[in-house]
Amino acid sequence: MQHSPMRLLDFGDCPYLPDRRWHSLALHVLEANPQDMQGLLFSGFRRLGHLFYTPMCEGCQACISLRISARDFRPNKNQRQIWKRNQDVEFSVEPSLFSREKYDLYQRYQRQRWEKQQPISPEEFSAIYLEQPGEGLDFVYRLNGELVGVDWVDVTPGGISSVYFVWDCDARRSLGIYSVMRALQWCRDNNVEHLYLGLYVEGNQSMRYKASFHPHERRYRGGQWLPEPSQGWPQ
Query: Cα angle at 46 between 152 and 229, to 5 degrees?
Result: 105
CB 151 within 8 Å of CB 160:
no
Q: For residue 94, give the amino acid letter.
A: E
**pLDDT of res. 222:** 84
Architecture of domain 66-227: 3-Layer(aba) Sandwich (3.40)
Residue 230 has pLDDT above 50, yes or no: yes
**pLDDT of res. 235:** 44
Residue 205 has pLDDT above 90, yes or no: no
Name every residue whose Cβ is closer than 8 Å to that of residue 62 and which is 6 or more positions away in sequence: 16, 17, 201, 202, 203
pLDDT, one tens digit per residue, over 137-175 is 999 999 999 999 999 999 999 999 999 999 998 888 999
pLDDT, one tens digit per residue, over 84-93 is 999 999 999 9
Name every residue whose Cβ is closer than 8 Å to that of residue 120 and which is 6 or more positions away in sequence: 128
Domain edges within the chain: 2-64, 66-227
Angle (deg, nearest 10), helices 175-189 and 77-85: 90
Distance of alpha carbon 56 from alpha carbon 63, whole angstroms: 9
**pLDDT of res. 203:** 82
Q: What is the mean pLDDT of the chain?
A: 92
pLDDT, one tens digit per residue, over 3-44 is 888 899 999 999 899 999 999 999 999 989 999 999 999 999
pTM above 0.85, yes or no: yes
pLDDT-based confidence at residue 232 (cuts at 50, 70, 90): low
